[in-house]
A = this chain, B = another copy of it.
Amino acid sequence: MNDGDGGAVPAAPRKRADARRNERTLLDAAAAVFVTSGVEAPVRDIAARAGVGLATIYRHFPTRADLIIAVYRHQVEACAEAGPALLASGATPHAALGRWINLFVDFLVTKHGLAAVLQSDSAGFDTLHAYFLDRLVPVCAQLLDAAAVAGEIRSDIDAYELMRGVGNLCIGADSDPRYDARRLVELLIAGLRLPH
Contacts and interface: CB of A to CB of B under 8 A. Distances in A.
Contacts of A192: 187
A54 to B, nearest CB: 23
A128 B89 CA distance: 47
A160 B172 contact: no
Interface string A153-187: 00011101110110011011001101110011011
Contacts of A169: 165, 168-169
Given A157-B183, A191-B189, A121 B178 contact: no
A75 to B, nearest CB: 22
A175 B119 CA distance: 11
Given A119-B171, A168-B171, 18 more contacts: A116-B119, A121-B175, A157-B183, A160-B178, A160-B179, A161-B184, A164-B172, A164-B179, A165-B169, A165-B187, A168-B168, A168-B172, A171-B171, A184-B188, A186-B191, A187-B191, A188-B188, A189-B191
Q: Which 7 A-B residue pairings sit nearest by Cβ, starting from the closest?
A: A191-B191, A187-B191, A190-B191, A165-B184, A168-B168, A119-B172, A168-B171
Interface of A: 116, 119-121, 156-158, 160-162, 164-165, 168-169, 171-172, 175-176, 178-180, 183-184, 186-192
